[in-house]
Each structure stands twice: as C-alpha cells, then as structure tokens.
C-alpha cells in the first residue's frame, strides 16, 4: 500500500516540526509557508532538534517547498498550522485544490479552528488535533522540541501510523473539545512568557510569574463553570487544582510539580518568538477567548484582558516585565 502524501499549510515552527518528522519517515510532504521561511529552508534545509536525541538534518533536496496553496493538490492529508486569524482564508485557499477524500487536520492553538475549517470545507473530513508540547525555532532552519509530550487528535489509523513512523508519539482522543479547553488553560502562560523575556523553565520557576498565570486560569475556570465546560486534564494536576499549585513557594512548587518543569533550558513560547520578530501574536485566540467567554456569560476576566493589551503593546514596542511588576499590573486590573 503506498504511503499517504502530506501537505503542511503554515510551515512555521509547528508545521516544520510535524512535516519534518514525516519526511524523515520517508513520506512525501509539501511545505507551504511564507516566502522568507521557505527561502531559509531552501538554503539550509531543516533540522529537528530535542534535548534528548541527536538532531536530525534534512537537506534541501529532501524538502518540497512552496508558497501557494495549490501545492496541497494531490495530498491525502493536509496539516493546517496557520495562526487562528488566518484559518478561514487558508480554508478558502485550500478549497479549490484539495483532492476528493483528502483529510484536513488542524494542529492549531485556539478553540474554533476545526469548526471554521469544516464550515468552509463541508465535503472533507476535518480532524481536530493538538500539539501539547513546546516547539520553537531556535535558529533559522532549526525547530526545537523543548519538552516531551504526545500529539492528540481525533482517531485516524493511517495518520497515526505515519506520525508514529516519524518518531512522534500520538494519542487518539474522542473528547477534543475538552482537550482544547484544557490546552487553552496551559497556553495562557504563552503571553506571560512572552513578556518575561525568559526561557520557560526560568519563568515558571519564579512564583510571581506563576501567580500571574494562576490569576488568568482562575478567571478561565470561572468562565468555564458558568458555560458548563469541563476541561480535560492534560498535566500532572487537575485543572481546578492547578492555580493553587502555581501559587506555592518556589521550593515547594519544584517538589510538587517537578513534571511541569521538565523543560529544557532553551524552550520559550511561540508568542515570545512572535514578539521578538515583530509579528502579530495569537493572544486574542488565548486570553481573548477567555475574555469573550466570560463576557458572554455575564462575567469579567480583567487579568486576561490586561495581559492581552500588554501583549498587543509589545507587538510594536517590546518590553520585559519582572514577575512582581507583571503581577502588580494584573492585580491592579481586577
């Protein structure tokens, strides 16, 4: 049986991570991304790195690189990794080129991307997926996985076999809505990390920054309860307990939440990467989702709203906040 063909639409850090592992397993993968990013891959190739295994380098001749969605024609699976703001446009671009029977998989942050894709592509199967671990571009042409973890998607045996052949752990989930809401709770830290200027491990090692995250998560959990949403447990502690654990003194937190700090020294959030490069961030799909959900149910989420505003300011005028400064700023917003 021939191997399935893949296309990755939005070949940034996550897209190159997924597509690169598929290429390493011998799959035909079309990488579709911004011209500047594709030029780097065309010159340097793609390197996949982690802190636990030797890096894997894919030479440029092994990569199929494109900047237009027609490169997805003929693919059996299209992995969508564009930012949330670009999802509807990406789906419309794909509509004219998808092969009959092609499966579209959303590996994106945010809650509504699979629904957006399904609305535009009603004749195609759209699967919700999630990358629960940190991936960042450590240098041009190199994507680095900063912590262990398993991909999660709705079930598809052929997709799972391909991902596993590439060395990626994957888990079938029938509760992807709950998984996405659980992931959103974790991703509320992306904005804090972006403003801290620190690697994730250093940032999470400081109680003041963790208390900022606890404020955001408490607002999110209150909005979830009002909306009747039960987020999936994705980490070592239940979602409702996590804000209390985050507030523990540093030494106690390190003992209780050691698994949460299994992050290598170089890992940072993708939002930090966007701020550093002067690109629009996904904060409206993270903190903004909590603010919108709270407002829709007669509540407020002032810490999340203020954090979103600070990130938008940082998109044009980067500023580094200490933990105590940021915590005081978010407390004052309440």
Q: What is the pLDDT of residue 260?
A: 65
Tell whether 85 is covered by a domain.
Answer: yes
Q: Which of 115, 143, 174 is the endpoint of a domain? A: 174
User: Binning pLDDT at 50, 70 and 90, where does residue 259 land?
Assistant: low
Rounded mean pLDDT of 14-26? 97
CATH of the domain at 141: 3.40.50.720
How many percent of the chain have pLDDT more than 70?
99
Q: Which of 135, 159, 174 is the endpoint of a domain? A: 174
Rounded mean pLDDT of 128-141? 91
Q: What is the pLDDT of residue 124?
A: 97
User: Binning pLDDT at 50, 70 and 90, where does residue 136 land?
Assistant: confident
pLDDT at 34 over 80: yes
Query: 274-328, pLDDT tens digit by residue?
Result: 998 888 999 999 999 999 999 999 999 999 999 999 999 999 998 999 999 999 9
236 or 8: whose pLDDT is higher? 8
CA dist., res. 205 & res. 236, Å (int): 16
Query: 194-229, pLDDT tens digit by residue?
Result: 999 999 999 999 999 999 999 999 999 999 999 999
CATH of the domain at 240: 1.10.1040.10
CA dist., res. 174 & res. 86, Å (int): 26
Statement to judge: residues 169 and 21 lie in one domain: yes
What range does the domain containing 252 cover?
178-332
Statement to judge: residues 186 and 170 lie in one domain: no
Q: How many domains does the chain have?
A: 2
pLDDT at 125 over 90: yes
Query: 225-243, pLDDT tens digit by residue?
Result: 999 999 999 888 899 999 9
Residues linked to residue 253 through DSSP beta bridges, in sequence order: none
Q: What is the pLDDT of residue 257?
A: 79
pLDDT at 28 over 70: yes
Statement to judge: residues 55 and 145 lie in one domain: yes
Q: Which of 116, 143, 174 is the endpoint of a domain? A: 174
């Amino acid at each position: 049986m021939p191997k399935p063909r893949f296309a990755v639409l939005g070949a940034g850090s996550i897209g190159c991570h997924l597509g690169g592992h598929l290429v390493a397993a011998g799959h035909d993968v079309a990488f579709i991304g911004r011209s500047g990013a594709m030029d780097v891959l065309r010159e340097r190739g793609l390197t996949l790195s982690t802190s636990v295994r030797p890096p894997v380098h894919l030479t440029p001749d092994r990569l199929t690189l494109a900047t237009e969605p027609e490169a997805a024609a003929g693919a059996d699976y299209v992995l969508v990794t564009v930012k949330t703001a670009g999802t509807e446009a990406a789906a419309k671009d794909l509509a004219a080129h998808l092969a009959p029977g092609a499966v579209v998989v959303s590996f994106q942050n945010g809650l509504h991307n699979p629904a957006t894709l399904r609305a535009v592509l009603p004749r195609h199967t759209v699967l919700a997926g999630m990358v629960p671990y940190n991936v960042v571009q450590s240098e041009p042409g190199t994507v680095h996985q900063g912590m262990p973890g398993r991909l999660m998607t709705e079930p598809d045996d052929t997709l799972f076999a391909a991902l596993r052949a590439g060395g990626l752990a994957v888990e079938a989930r029938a509760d992807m809505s709950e998984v996405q809401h659980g992931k959103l709770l974790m991703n509320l830290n992306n904005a804090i990390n972006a403003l801290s200027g620190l690697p994730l491990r250093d940032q999470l090692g400081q109680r003041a920054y963790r208390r900022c995250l606890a404020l955001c998560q408490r607002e999110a959990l209150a909005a979830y309860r009002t909306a009747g949403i039960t987020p999936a447990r994705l980490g070592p502690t239940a979602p409702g307990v996590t804000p209390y654990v985050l507030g523990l003194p540093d030494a106690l937190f390190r003992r209780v939440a050691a698994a949460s700090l299994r992050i290598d020294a170089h890992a940072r959030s993708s939002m930090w990467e966007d701020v550093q490069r002067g690109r629009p961030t996904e904060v409206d799909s993270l903190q903004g989702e909590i603010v919108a959900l709270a407002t829709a149910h007669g509540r407020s989420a002032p810490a999340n709203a203020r954090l979103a505003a600070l990130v938008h300011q940082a998109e044009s005028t980067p500023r580094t906040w200490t933990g105590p400064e940021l915590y005081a700023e978010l407390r004052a917003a309440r």
